[in-house]
Structure 1
Amino acid sequence: MQSRAPALAEQAKTWKILELWVDPVLFPPKILMLVGDQDGTCRIFNPASGYKLIVTHSNYQAAQEWLLEDEYERVKGQLLAEEVL
């Protein structure tokens, strides 16, 4: 199996954090991925739909509020771009 490390390292040049958010009410739980870019922009993707872009926010707080409004909960921890490089 080929490592995805080179691809992640290339993408890490533009993003700063990656978080997983889950809707714990559904089973199986619905998962969304929040990607925070170096410039502060945050994008939310749906991994179950081929990583389709759901929404873009100008900052982390707006993205977080959007997720919390829909009762998503953040999975503990973050993947930092600097740890991938």
Structure 2
Amino acid sequence: MQTTNTMSSPEQNLVKNDWEFTEVWIDPMLSPPYILLLLCDSEENCQIYDPAQGYKVIFSSQSYETAKLWLLEDEYEPITGRLLATELA
């Protein structure tokens, strides 16, 4: 039987918790694909986190468009859809 731990991990505590939406981006050329997380707040301040590096912020931007272009330059592709913070509340 598997139990669920309700306490947050240290990695989760590193991710800001005032985000409005998040997107998952992948590098499909790698096997398995490499994943990055893009989180943006209501003022479009965005940060890109690398789950493989303990959710370290690897890029910050004051606009969604700049963050998106950074990911596209490195040939990342968005996974369709966004997760809104309000959906989890």
Per the TM superposition, whether the score is higher than 0.5 is: yes
1:1-85 → structure 2 map (5 Å cutoff): 1-3=4-6, 11=17, 14-85=18-89
TM-score scaled by structure 2? 0.82
Kindly state the Cα deviation for residue 2 of structure 1 after the two structures are TM-superposed: 2.8
Q: Partners in 1 of 2:75 and 2:20 — Cα distance?
A: 24
TM-score scaled by structure 1? 0.85
AA partner of residue 78 (structure 1): R
Aligned CA-pair RMSD = 1.9
Q: Provide structure 2 residue ranges, at least 5 long, that are not aligned to the other structure.
A: none
Could you tell me the percent identity over the aligned residues? 45
- List structure 1 runs of 4+ shifted beyond 6 angstroms: none
AA partner of residue 21 (structure 1): W
Look at both structures and tell me which one has the larger radius of gyration over its CA atoms.
2
Q: Partners in 1 of 2:29 and 2:44 — Cα distance?
A: 30
Kindly state the Cα deviation for residue 77 of structure 1 after the two structures are TM-superposed: 0.9
Q: 3-state DSSP class of the match of 1:33?
A: strand
Q: Partners in 1 of 2:32 and 2:66 — Cα distance?
A: 26
Provide the aligned length of Structure 1 versus Structure 2: 80
Q: Partners in 2 of 1:38 and 1:3 — Cα distance?
A: 27
Q: Partners in 1 of 2:43 and 2:36 — Cα distance?
A: 21
